[in-house]
């Protein structure tokens, strides 16, 4: 995928009737289906059963099996509840009769109320001062480990600019956090809030486990550690636009027992808090 248009096409599913949907997959460099893709496609399926005046405000999900990139994923939506203000949906994703993912999502009608939000975090550099993944590949590609070069070589619809770039040839332990600027590639377009939420859900599964890796980065990396998303939760707060850079800011309070926890927030460049997220991932050192 090269741009946001192709990403939106991927997230849109084929309707099979009776709240059943089917979607295809695109690799992001892993041999298995990207968790963010399944998340976003499941949100899209749930939205197909929701009235137009209600919007996703929270989701909670579990990744149960690795997805096969070569066969379609089937999504079945169950209408759990339709209340006066909230609607709840359960989405089950499966391949060849095996459940690979489950999602619970809640949708809320627009209402007025009081508000507050945390401050925009301190960021050492603005995106114009940083290199993107594409820039790093072009400048350092001949010196990078094969696995890192292969990952960066994948075409993506999102441009990422990490605030801190670790040296893969001289790894060191880092603080348990991660900040990444991101924006969509392709032509700027007017998107409805539902589509923006689906895209942001897709993006939220990138970079998140780096925060849990960082304190042990001198010894462990994605090459010598088995990794997988175990669960993923998100909360959506305010509408936003993809017309400028946005900040993904994560921190990890704990890693233990071959699992790491990361949580954080997503802000617009002008400081508006649009969503929060949390994920626990498998971080299992590979046996030599």
Q: Give CA 234 to chain center in angstroms.
A: 10
**Residue 231 has which token pair?**
């669960």
Catalytic residue among 95, 179, 205, 252: 205
Q: Return the structure tokens found at 182.
A: 């991101």
Q: Would you call 135 a catalytic residue per the annotation?
A: no
Concatenating the DSSP letter of every residue in 129-162 gives GS--HHHHHHHHGGGS-HHHHHHHTS--SEEEEE
Structural tokens at position 246: 């946005």
Structure tokens at 217: 């980065």
Q: Which residues contact 62 (CB under 8 A, 6 or more apart)?
A: 101, 102, 230, 231
Q: What does the alpha-carbon distance between residue 127 and residue 148 come to, in Å, rounded to a whole number?
A: 22
CB 246 within 8 A of CB 269: yes
- Catalytic-labelled residue, pool 179, 197, 229, 249: 229
Beta bridge partners of 200: none
Mark residue 286 as left, alpha or beta (left: phi above 0; alpha: psi -120 to 50; beta: remaining). beta
68 is catalytic: no
- Let me know if 106 is a catalytic residue: no
Active site residues: 205, 229, 279
């Amino acid at each position: 995928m090269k741009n946001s248009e192709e990403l939106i096409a991927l997230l849109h599913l084929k309707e099979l009737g009776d709240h059943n949907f089917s979607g295809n997959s695109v690799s992001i460099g892993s041999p298995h289906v990207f968790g963010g893709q399944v998340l976003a496609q499941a949100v899209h399926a749930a939205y197909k059963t929701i009235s137009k005046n209600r919007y996703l405000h929270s989701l909670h999900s579990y990744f149960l099996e690795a997805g096969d990139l070569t066969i379609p994923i089937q999504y079945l939506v169950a209408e759990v509840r339709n209340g006066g203000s909230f609607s709840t949906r359960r989405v089950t994703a499966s391949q060849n009769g095996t459940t690979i993912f489950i999602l619970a999502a809640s949708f809320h009608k627009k209402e007025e109320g009081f508000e507050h939000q945390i401050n925009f975090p301190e960021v050492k550099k603005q995106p114009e001062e940083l290199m993107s993944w594409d820039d790093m590949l072009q400048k350092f590609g001949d010196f990078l480990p094969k696995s890192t070069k292969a990952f960066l070589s994948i075409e993506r619809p999102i441009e990422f600019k990490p605030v801190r770039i670790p040296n893969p040839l001289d790894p060191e332990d880092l603080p348990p956090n991660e900040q990444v600027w991101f924006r969509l590639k392709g032509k700027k377009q007017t998107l409805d809030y539902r589509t923006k939420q689906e895209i942001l859900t897709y993006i939220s599964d990138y970079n998140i486990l780096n925060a849990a890796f960082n304190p042990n980065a001198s010894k462990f990396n994605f090459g010598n550690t088995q990794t997988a998303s175990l669960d993923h939760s998100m909360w959506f707060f305010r509408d936003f636009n993809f017309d400028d850079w946005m900040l993904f800011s994560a921190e990890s309070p704990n890693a233990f027992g071959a699992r790491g926890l990361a949580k954080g927030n997503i802000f617009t460049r002008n400081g508006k808090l649009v969503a929060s997220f949390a994920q626990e991932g498998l971080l299992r050192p590979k046996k030599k």
